[in-house]
Amino acid sequence: MNQDSSAQATGKRAAAEEAVRRIESGMTVGLGTGSTAVYAIRKIGEFVQGGLSIRAVATSVQSERLARELGIPISPFADIDGIDVTIDGADEVDGAFNAIKGGGGALLREKIVAAASRTLILVVDESKVVRRLGAFPLPVEIVPFGKELTLAKLTELGGNPVVRLARDGSVYTTDNGNYIADCNFGSIGDPGRLTAQLNAIPGVVENGLFVGMASGVIVGRADGSAAPLVRQS
For residue 136, CA distances in Å to 78, 99, 113, 127, 233 come to: 35, 10, 22, 12, 23
**Is 138-205 assigned to CATH 3.30.70.260?**
yes
Query: Residue 5: its pLDDT value, please?
Result: 85
CA 54, CA 47: separation in Å to the nearest integer? 10
203: left (phi over 0), alpha (psi -120 to 50) or beta: left
CA 124, CA 176: separation in Å to the nearest integer? 26
| Residue 2 predicted with pLDDT over 60 | no
CA 173, CA 171: separation in Å to the nearest integer? 6
- Quote the distance between the C-alpha of residue 11 and its chain's center: 17
Given 17, 110, 141, 206, the catalytic residue? 110
Radius of gyration of the chain (CA): 17
| Residue 3 predicted with pLDDT over 90 | no
Q: What is the mean pLDDT of the chain?
A: 96
- Quote the distance between the C-alpha of residue 90 and its chain's center: 5
Average pLDDT of span 174-200: 97
Average pLDDT of span 78-106: 96
Strands 226-228 vs 216-220: parallel, antiparallel or unpaired: antiparallel
**Contact status, residue 154 vs residue 181, Cβ threshold 8 Å:** yes
110 is catalytic: yes
**Contact status, residue 134 vs residue 188, Cβ threshold 8 Å:** yes
| Per-residue pLDDT tens over the stretch 205-224 | 999 999 999 999 999 999 99
| Residue 137 predicted with pLDDT over 70 | yes
Amino acid symbol at 126: E
Average pLDDT of span 120-147: 97
Residue 98's φ and ψ, nearest 5 degrees, are: -75, 150
Average pLDDT of span 188-216: 97
Residue closest to 220 by CA, chosen among 16, 11, 22, 33: 11
Query: Residue 4: its pLDDT value, please?
Result: 73
CA 77, CA 64: separation in Å to the nearest integer? 13
Break the chain into its structural domains and give their ranges: 6-129+212-222, 138-205
Q: Could you tell me what percent of the chain has a pLDDT over 90?
A: 96
Query: Residue 73: its pLDDT value, please?
Result: 97
The topology (CATH level 3) of 6-129+212-222 is: Rossmann fold (3.40.50)
Residue closest to 179 by CA, chosen among 217, 147, 137, 136: 147
CA 12, CA 4: separation in Å to the nearest integer? 10
CB atoms near residue 150 (< 10 Å): 22
| Per-residue pLDDT tens over the stretch 26-58 | 999 999 999 999 999 999 999 999 999 999 999
Query: Residue 1: its pLDDT value, please?
Result: 41
